[in-house]
Amino acid sequence: MVDISVIIPTHNRAAMLKSLLGKLDAQRDGTPAFEILVVADGCEDDTSTMLASLRTRVPLRTLSLPGVGPALARNAGSQVASGRLLIFLDDDIEPGANFVAAHVAEHQRHPGGVVIGPYPPLPHVATDRFRLSAREWWTRHFERVSLPGHRFAFTDVLTGNLSLDAELFHAMGGLDPQFARAREDFEFGLRVIKKGVPIRFAPDAFGYHLEHQTMTLTGKMVRRHQEGRSDALMARKHPDIQRLLEIHRFAGRKGWKKRLRRIIATRAGSVLDPLVKAGPRVLQTLEKAGLRRLYEKVERQLNGYHYLRGAAEVLGEDWRLPPDPTASADEIEVLEINLDQGLEAAEAMLAERRPLAARIVNGTILVGDMCHQIGAEPWDARHLRPWLNRQAIRRYLPVALAEWQALPNNVPTRLSDLTLNFLNNPSFRAHTFEQHLQWMQAKLRSALDEKTSKS
C-alpha cells in the first residue's frame, strides 16, 4: 500500500507513454513511495504490449477502458488507486526529476487543497503560425498563474498536472462525465472554487508539454467542436458564469449575423461539414503563400464554425440559456479591512473570512477595492501583499515618479514588467530561461544539420 498514486489516462501514445514512465521511474532519491496507474482508454496501438513488457522500480498497474474519454478515465483510475494523494498527469508530459516530491511537499505545507503544476511546451524549433500560437498560449498561461498572489479562476484548473487528496476528489464527485472530452477540468475547478477549496501553484512540480507531437490543426478543429458542446452544457449547469463563456456571445442574442451563424450551425452542417474538413489544408496553403491576414480571418471563421456546431448538439433549435441568477442577486457583501493594525492582522482577517470582495483602508484613507470576480476564488491572506504591490505600482508609483522626474538633474526611469516578474518569481523564471536556452540549442543544431546536409 502506498500513499501516492500517479494516474495517467492515455490513448494510442505508446512511445510517448514509455518515455514518460521512464521519467517517473527516475525520480530523484528521497522521493516518497508512489505507484503509477495507467488507464489505457481505447488504445489500438501497442500500448498494452509495451506496458506488459515494461519493467520499472516504481509499482506500475494498468486499467483498460473501451474509449470513454479522459474525464471518465481519470474517474475510473481514482476508484482503483491505492494512494491517499492523487496526482493526475497527461500522457504527453515529461515530468522533471522532482515532480512527485514537489507535489507532496506543497500538500504538506498546505494540506487539504488542490495543487497545480506547470507544463509549458518543450523547447523546439517551430516556424508555423499554429505551432507558435499554441506555444505562446501555454507559456503565457503558466507565467500568469505563477505570479505571487495570483487569484485562481476556474479556467486555471487543468488536470494535465494536478494533485489533490483522494477523499476530496471523491467528495466532489470526481469529474462530471457530461464533459467527457473538453472542459471537464474547468467544470471541476468551478466546483472546487464554489466549495472554497484552496488552490495552490507548485512551480517545482514541473513537466514539459510535448504539444508539438500531439497538437495539430485538425485536432484543434475537433477540440473546438468539443469545447462548443461543453460550454453549452456548462452554461446550463452553471448559469452564474455563463457570461464568461464564449457561447454567451451567440445564445439568445439579437442581430442578423448571430442568427445566421446559429442557423448555419444548426441546419447546414450536413452540407458544410465535408467542405470545412479541408480547412486545415487551406490554412497551410495560405501560410505558405504568406497571406497572414487572410489566414487569420479564415482561422477565426473555422474555429467559430466548429465551436457552434458543437454547441448546436446540445442546444438544438433553442439557443436560449437559463437566466443568470446573479443578475438579480443581492449586492455582494464587502469586508472592510483597516491596515492601521498591521499587515499581519489584515492577512489574518482575510484568511479567516475569505471574502468575495473587500475594501482596504489605512485609517481614513481608501487604499483600494479587492473586487468580486465571478468564477474566481475568494480573497485570502496570500493575495494581500501582491495586491498592495500592484496598487502601489498602478496608483502611487506613477505619482511618485512624476514628482521625482520633476526634480533637476534626474533622468526618467522606466520599470519593466519583465523585471518585476523576475524578482517576484525566480523559480518559474528559471524554468523559462532553461526552456529558452534549450530552444536556442535546438535551433543551432538544426542550422548546423542543414548546413552539413547541403555541403
* Angle, CA 159 vertex, CA 153 and CA 163 arms, to 5°: 95
Q: Is residue 31 domain-shared with residue 147, that is, in the same domain? A: yes
Cα 324 to Cα 91, 234, 418, distances in angstroms:
37, 13, 39
Kindly report the CATH number assigned to the domain that includes residue 124: 3.90.550.10
Residue 10 lies in a domain: yes
Residue 442: predicted pLDDT: 63
| Main-chain dihedrals φ then ψ at residue 365, nearest 5 degrees | -95, 130
Residue recorded with cell 483597516? 338
Give the global pTM: 0.86
Residue 441: predicted pLDDT: 64
Q: Is residue 238 domain-shared with residue 161, that is, in the same domain? A: no
Residue 33: predicted pLDDT: 96
144 phi-psi bin (left φ>0, alpha ψ -120 to 50, beta other): alpha
Q: Is residue 83 domain-shared with residue 203, that is, in the same domain? A: yes
Q: Is residue 268 domain-shared with residue 204, that is, in the same domain? A: no
Cα 323 to Cα 88, 222, 251, 252, 310, distances in angstroms:
35, 29, 12, 11, 21
Q: Is residue 166 domain-shared with residue 298, that is, in the same domain? A: no
- Determine the Cα–Cα distance for residues 2 and 82; give it in Å rounded to an integer: 6
Residue 445 lies in a domain: no
Instruction: Give Cα 407 distance to the centre of its chain.
Output: 46
- Determine the Cα–Cα distance for residues 206 and 99; give it in Å rounded to an integer: 6
Q: Is residue 223 domain-shared with residue 106, that is, in the same domain? A: no
Residue 284 lies in a domain: yes
Residue 89: predicted pLDDT: 98
Tens-level pLDDT at each residue, the chain (455 residues): 579 999 999 999 999 999 999 999 999 999 999 999 999 999 999 999 999 999 999 999 999 999 999 999 999 999 999 999 999 999 999 999 999 999 999 999 999 999 999 999 998 887 788 988 888 899 999 999 999 899 999 999 999 999 999 999 999 999 999 998 999 999 999 999 999 999 999 999 999 999 999 999 999 999 999 999 999 999 999 999 999 999 998 886 667 777 788 888 888 877 888 889 999 999 999 999 999 999 999 999 999 999 999 999 999 988 888 888 876 556 789 999 999 888 999 999 999 999 999 999 988 888 899 999 999 999 999 999 999 888 876 665 555 455 445 545 444 433 333 333 433 444 545 555 555 555 566 667 767 777 777 66
* Domain end (from 214, 234, 251): 214
Bridge partner list, 39? 9, 63
Residue 232 lies in a domain: yes
Residue 295 lies in a domain: yes
Q: Contact 24/59 with Cβ under 8 angstroms?
A: no
* Domain end (from 148, 179, 214): 214
Residue 446 lies in a domain: no
Nearest by Cα to 159 from 179, 143, 139: 179
Q: Is residue 57 domain-shared with residue 138, that is, in the same domain? A: yes
- Determine the Cα–Cα distance for residues 107 and 91; give it in Å rounded to an integer: 23
Residue 200 lies in a domain: yes
Q: Is residue 307 domain-shared with residue 342, that is, in the same domain? A: no
Q: Is residue 209 domain-shared with residue 286, that is, in the same domain? A: no
Q: Contact 259/305 with Cβ under 8 angstroms?
A: no
C-alpha cell at 297: 480571418
Q: Is residue 180 domain-shared with residue 291, that is, in the same domain? A: no
Nearest by Cα to 235 from 183, 192, 273, 271: 183
As for how many domains the chain has, the answer is: 3
Bridge partner list, 64? 40
Residue 367 lies in a domain: yes
Residue 295: predicted pLDDT: 94
* Domain end (from 171, 199, 214): 214
Q: Which range marks the domain in which residue 387 is found?
A: 333-371+379-405
Q: Is residue 81 domain-shared with residue 19, that is, in the same domain? A: yes
Q: Is residue 209 domain-shared with residue 248, that is, in the same domain? A: no
